Each structure stands twice: as C-alpha cells, then as structure tokens.
Structure 1
Amino acid sequence: MKRGLVAPLLAVALLLNLGLAPVVAAADPVRIAVISIQDILDRSVVAREARGKIEGEIERQRATLQREQAALEEMREEIEKKSSVWSDQVRAEREREFQRRFRAFEGLNEDAQLAVQQQEKVLMEPVLLKLDEIIAEFGRDHNYDLILEYTMKGLRSRTGLLYAAETMDISEQVRQELDKRLK
C-alpha cells in the first residue's frame, strides 16, 4: 500500500519541478554589490575635511583640559608637601578648594565631550545623509537588487561578509559621486 502512494507523489513532485524550472530560469539574475562605508569616509575629500575640523575641536578641548589638569596636579602636590605645616583649618580649606576645582574639571571634561559630539553631528550628518541618498540612487540606477556593507572581508569581518569579488565593490564610484555632490 505504501508503494501505491509513493509513485504518484514522486510523479507529482517531478511535474512540479519541471513546471517551475522555466520560471526560475527566465527570472533576471540577482544583482548584488558591496560597499565599505568606512573606506568611503576615509578617502572622501569632504569627509576628511569634516574630520579635520572635528580633530581641531578635539585638540582645542584637549589643550584646555590639559591646562586645568596641570593646575590641579600642582594644587595636589602643594597640598601633599605643605599639609604637614598648615593648620587643620588651612588644610581643610585647601582640600575643599581642590575638590571644588576637581568637580569643575569633571564638568569641563563632560562639556568638552558634548561640544565635540555636537560638532561631529553638525559636520558629519549632512555627509552621511547625502551618502545614504547616493547609495540608494546608485542601486536604483544600476539595477542592483541588494547592496551589502562590509568593514572587512574574511573571518575578521564584523558584518558577516566572508568573500566578495572586487568587481562587486562599488565604494569608489559612490565616493566619487559623494565628493562631486558635496563640493
């Protein structure tokens, strides 16, 4: 009785496979490209200029913080050296002053981080928005079905892309378009 069911099921499966084969063969091939956002941002003139401005802001903030840190270190050394000759009242007053300046330094550090983050957002957000727009347009214009982002290829990949032929990488074309549009 089992043999009686197996043969018709195999025949139906065979007919279904034969019937679907022309449909699959007639479909357009899937077009896939890969892109490295990091590579584009590293080589883009516009992105490098924005990063240069951000790094300038980081250096300005760092210089301010280093001056204040040096003043705090001086104050701490003075307290350590002279605390034995100071009265309890003077020592307590200097330690309170040190704590007050240290808290102010921490606030200054937070303000510096926020200033850098704000400038990074102001300078890089337009670049990233334009890059997103260009990638979508490039995909549509060149009939890509899928564009995958990669940071690294191979086993060190953070995105799971283990291999892609160099001919699939459209990073350079997208970078050129980004620089052209944002100049």
Structure 2
Amino acid sequence: MTTHTEFDLRHYGHADASAIRGLLLDVHDEVYEGSDDPLAGREEFAKFVDHWSAREVFACVVGYDRGEPIGYAYGAPLSAATTWWAKVIPPLPGEFTAESGARTFALSELMVRTSWRGTGAAKAIHDELLRGRAEERVTLLVHRQHRKVRALYESWGYREVGETVPFDGAPELCAMVLRLGA
C-alpha cells in the first residue's frame, strides 16, 4: 500500500466525458474484479457512466498519484423530474423529496483502487467533488450489506433516510443524505 497522501485532484465535466470514459471503466473493472454483482460487469456499468455523463451538469473528480489514476467520484444534481426518491421505504415526505434541479447533488459513484484504500484518497476525492457546490445536500445509494462502507459515509456526516431497490435487478440499497455547508 502506498503511504503517499498528496493527490492530484482533477475536475471533469460533461464536455470531458468521452475523454475520461475509458479511464472510469478501467478503474471500475479493477475495483470490481471478481465481483458476483450482476451490475458490476463493464457493459452494465458503462450504461451508468453514459447515463450520468450525458447530463450537462455532470461533475467528476479523478484522483491521481504521480500521474496514475487512483480513483474517482462523479454525479450530478437531481432534476425536478427525478425518480430517485420514489421507491425509498419508508416513503419520505413530499417536502423532503421535492427537487428543483439545484437542491440535491446525487453522488453516483465513488471508488478507489485497492492500493490507495486507507490513504485518505476516498475522502479527498469526495470532498473535492463537493467543494463549492451550490446544492443544500448530497445523496448517495450504498449496498445495504456493505456495513463498513455505510459506517464510513456516516463518519463523514451522512445519515440513512431509508432503503430502496431503485430498478429491477438492483440490490437492496440504503439511501443516505449529507447536508452541505453544515
């Protein structure tokens, strides 16, 4: 494991999507190698990358250590027409789920290659992605089974608001929220 803790954190957006697509998929493939998750295959994951990066408000931060990509985080604000909250159990009140396109940033992915886990890379990438965002909160979905990952997010200030299976074939996920600027 590397002990290097100074990372080069680079921002990318919708206009950069085609240039970074291969990098995002390659890091994902390494992180999920050997996974039995049916959504972890390259072709399935590419659909998620393409969905999020097609949005003009797509935001991504890639971390590098001496020029080598170590991980990334990406997402976008939820639109007023989002179905993000629709299947959360218990159902959330309308004032909580109402979206304007500028209220909630959805953190779709955060992953760090194995050699850089435990170095602070995940937190650095996460914080850089959210630095200066105008939304009042950020939300993410995490596998219900991944207690250590949920505990990590809780240590960063996230709180669980319910559980969801957002689409057919998805695993049981916990919906979590972090207030920004708190």
**Normalised by the size of structure 1, how large is the TM-score?**
0.21
Q: Answer with 1 or 2: which has the greater Rg.
A: 1
**Normalised by the size of structure 2, how large is the TM-score?**
0.21
Greater RCO (CA < 8 Å, at least 6 residues apart): 1
More helix by share: 1
